[in-house]
Structure 1
Amino acid sequence: MTEIIDPPTPKMRRELSFGTDPRSVRQRIEGMEKLLERMFVIPGINKPVGLDVILDIIPGVGTISAAALGSYIAWEARNLGMSKWQIARMAGNIGFDMLLGAIPWIGAIPDFFFRSNTRNVRMIKRHLDKHHPDTRTIDVEAR
């Protein structure tokens, strides 16, 4: 016996697609920031760690990969129409993070404290809250 599946509703299509609307961008950058900066918590010190710090342990390739993933957040900001000054600040954060991570093994320690992706997402959220207030969400997570 075959089951008849209803076609996706507009709400389902919005949830499944990679929209260019500000709400979709906000969800993507928040997800990327969580992956890069807060993937899991280190027991004992209760400090979140993400892929950015883990990749910095791998000399050369890891640092470049982490910077490329962080650049995606800046690319999304550019697509939102943020100013060149804001994009330059984001690029500076990514570059500084990359310089910190370029020091083999030891570079992961300062990167553990300087969270460039969190800083960049915070800038984008301020922009979205100002120019697209309907995308605001309530953060229930204590930071």
Structure 2
Amino acid sequence: MQFAIEANALKSQIEDRKPQILEWEVLPPEEKRRRQGLEPLFKWLSLIMDEFIRVPGTKFKFGLDPLIGLLPGLGDTSSALVSAFALIQAARLGVPKILLARMSLNILINELIGIVPVVGDAFSFWFKSNARNYRIIQGHIATPGGVSRRSDWVFVIAVLVLLFGIVCCGLVVSFLLLREIGKLLAGGH
């Protein structure tokens, strides 16, 4: 009888004791954290610059990029500079060179066509370079990749110099066009 009481007491102690569950927190490797650090920036840019406003009754969205682009000269320049800032952050956080090239190409296409009055503004409603770059970053986060090297920085600087040159040319062309339009409206020579 004594044995049965002790066995029951031991059994109730075992049943009363809840199993201790250890929860482990798996920290992502440094590479993954760096990659994920880019997503909020590019998501925000994509939303604000390319998908901020939805046309009622449609699935079509546009952002501030085409609206800012309506400002002669300064609009396309400011949009390109915002996108270039994001490109610098991507290079700083180790995005591979080929992805930087694709992202740069999106910015350059948007800027080059954006220089053309009316056509460029209409193109900006459709092309959405920041949304394209966000999709590139999402793909980069989802798949393993390389680490940035000195050659990546040289590449990014060269692309930024080219981008800056295109922006400057766009400004010059825009101001010359505005000056000529002003002369025509004033009836002067």
Q: Name stretches of at least 5 consecutive residues in structure 1 with no aligned partner.
A: 1-19, 133-143
Please give the secondary structure, in 1, of the residue aligned with 2:118: coil
**Which of 32, 42, 46 is the equivalent residue of 1:33?**
46
1:69 aligned onto 2:82: yes
- Number of aligned residue pairs: 113
Seq. identity, % = 28
Letter in 2 for 1:83: P
Q: Residue in 1 aligned with 2:92? A: 79
State whether residues 73 and 120 of structure 1, in contact with CA within 8 Å, keep that contact through their aligned partners in structure 2: no
Q: How does 1:1-143 map to 2 (within 5 A)?
A: 21-131=34-144
Instruction: Provide TM-score, normalisation by structure 2.
Output: 0.55
Give deviations 1:36-95, integer Å, cap 9, x for gaps: 101111224441111111111111110000111111222222122112222122111101
* Backbone CA RMSD of aligned residues: 1.9
Deviation at 1:106, TM superposition (A): 2.9
Aligned to 2:153: none
Partners of 1:59 and 1:105 within 8 A in 2: no
TM-score by length of 1: 0.71
For 1:97 and 1:86, how far apart are their aligned partners in 2?
Answer: 17
